[in-house]
């Protein structure tokens, strides 16, 4: 299927690992030029060079923590200087949490609010004007099944991801008249390096069967009985970036292996 994405330009936050990296590779395979952002500058540079060599596209980087306004400003400036604006924005940067509401301090709430919500707000404010000049665009938010079906050990993650979905819906309504489509993807269990790291830590004192631990998680939560690969989630993002998804506006798409227990 020709997705007609060749020659477009995209910003991807959290683009050096996991789902963000898989989206970068998927878009690059379609001929999309990339501006990748992540906190680890060395890893970001390595992946940018690898993707550019593998797919023959232009790949720029803007290292920084998008929970900080200055990092967002740097992305917007680099998008303008490198590509004259972009056609696609993937708000993917994020991370899980672990706390109780009664014990979590304000600064932890503030960090996750800035990372999951305000980064998306600020990037929209910075990049949408350029999308309008280019005739339209696509904005996708990587939220989580936890936005609708929370996990008890990470209330801050649940709350901020739910807020991201609501922001996405409101932004979709505001910019659809400018030919900009906004949607959300809510993944379930995805085999990212964070999940592997956590599983290894949890099983270090009991034999180290981290793979068995992850399988037990999949057995408990996902009817499909396995984790998704990052590439499986990226495939949906890439499709939603294309005009093949031209009637998809303001929606939240679940890619969760049946994990969501409601309809």
**pLDDT tens-digit profile of 146-196?**
999 999 999 999 999 999 999 999 999 999 999 999 999 999 999 999 899
Structural domain boundaries in the chain: 9-190+228-255
Q: Say if residues 118 and 70 touch (Cβ distance below 8 Å).
A: no
Longest dimension (CA), the chain: 58
Q: How far apart, in whole angstroms, are the C-alpha atoms of residue 60 and residue 232?
A: 25
CA atoms within 13 A on the CB side of 225: 0
Q: How many Å is the Cα radius of gyration of the chain?
A: 18
Bridge pairing between strands 88-91 and 137-142? parallel
Check: CB of residue 41 under 8 Å from CB of residue 119.
no
Mean predicted confidence (pLDDT) in 4-24: 98
Q: What pLDDT is stored for residue 223 in this prediction?
A: 98
Q: Please give the sequence-ordered ranges of beta strands (E in DSSP) within the chain, or none if there are none.
A: 9-13, 33-37, 59-61, 88-91, 137-142, 180-187, 252-255
| Catalytic status, residue 153 | no
pLDDT single digits (tens) 187-202: 999 999 989 998 999 8
| pLDDT exceeds 90 at position 2 | no
- Give the CA dihedral 235, 238, 244, 248, nearest 10 degrees: 100
Q: How far apart are CA 21 and CA 33, in angstroms?
A: 14
Average pLDDT in the 137-147 region?
98
Which pLDDT tens digit goes with each residue over 202-248? 899 999 999 999 999 999 999 999 999 999 999 999 999 999 999 99
Q: pLDDT digit string (tens) for 24-60? A: 999 999 999 999 999 999 999 999 999 999 999 999 9
99 pLDDT tier (thresholds 50, 70, 90): very high
Distance in Å from the first CA to the final CA of the chain: 30
- C-alpha to C-alpha distance for 263 and 156, rounded to whole angstroms: 24
Residue of higher predicted confidence among 229 and 1: 229
Instruction: Give the strand pairing for 33-37 and 137-142.
Output: unpaired
* Three-state SS at 181: strand
- Residue 94: count of CB within 10 angstroms of its CB: 26
Would you say 7 and 31 are in contact if contact means Cβ atoms under 8 Å apart? yes
CA–CA dist 166, 148 (Å, integer): 11
Note the pLDDT of residue 1: 79
Least confident of 2-16, 53-67, 119-133, 193-207: 193-207
CATH superfamily of the 9-190+228-255 domain: NAD(P)-binding Rossmann-like Domain (3.40.50.720)
pTM above 0.85, yes or no: yes
Give the pLDDT band (50/70/90) at residue 7.
very high
- Rounded to an integer, what distance in angstroms lies between the CA atom of residue 263 and that of residue 253? 12
pLDDT grade, residue 17 (50/70/90)?
A: very high
């Amino acid at each position: 299927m020709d997705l007609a994405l060749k020659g477009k330009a995209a910003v991807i936050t959290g683009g050096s690992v996991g789902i963000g990296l898989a989206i970068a590779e998927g878009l690059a395979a379609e001929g999309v030029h990339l501006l990748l952002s992540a906190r680890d500058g060395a890893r970001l540079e390595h992946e940018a060079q690898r993707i550019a060599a593998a797919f023959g596209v232009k790949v720029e980087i803007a290292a920084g923590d998008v929970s900080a306004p200055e990092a967002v400003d740097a992305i917007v400036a680099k998008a303008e200087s490198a590509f004259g604006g972009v056609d696609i924005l993937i708000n993917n940067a994020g991370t899980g949490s672990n706390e109780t509401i009664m014990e979590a301090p304000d600064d932890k709430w503030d960090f996750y609010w800035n990372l999951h919500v305000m980064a998306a707000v600020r990037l929209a404010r910075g990049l949408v004007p350029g999308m309008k000049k280019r005739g339209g665009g696509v904005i996708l938010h990587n939220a989580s099944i936890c936005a609708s079906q929370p996990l008890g050990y990470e209330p801050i993650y649940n709350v901020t991801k739910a807020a991201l979905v609501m922001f996405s819906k409101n932004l979709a309504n505001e910019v659809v008249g400018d030919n900009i489509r906004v949607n959300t993807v809510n993944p379930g269990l995805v085999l990212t390096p964070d999940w592997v790291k956590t599983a290894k830590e949890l099983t270090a004192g009991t034999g180290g069967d981290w793979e068995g631990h992850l399988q037990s998680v999949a057995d408990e939560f996902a009817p499909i009985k396995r984790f998704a690969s990052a590439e499986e989630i990226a495939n949906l993002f890439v499709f939603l970036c294309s005009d093949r998804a031209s009637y998809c506006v303001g929606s939240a798409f679940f890619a969760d292996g049946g994990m969501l227990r409601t309809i």
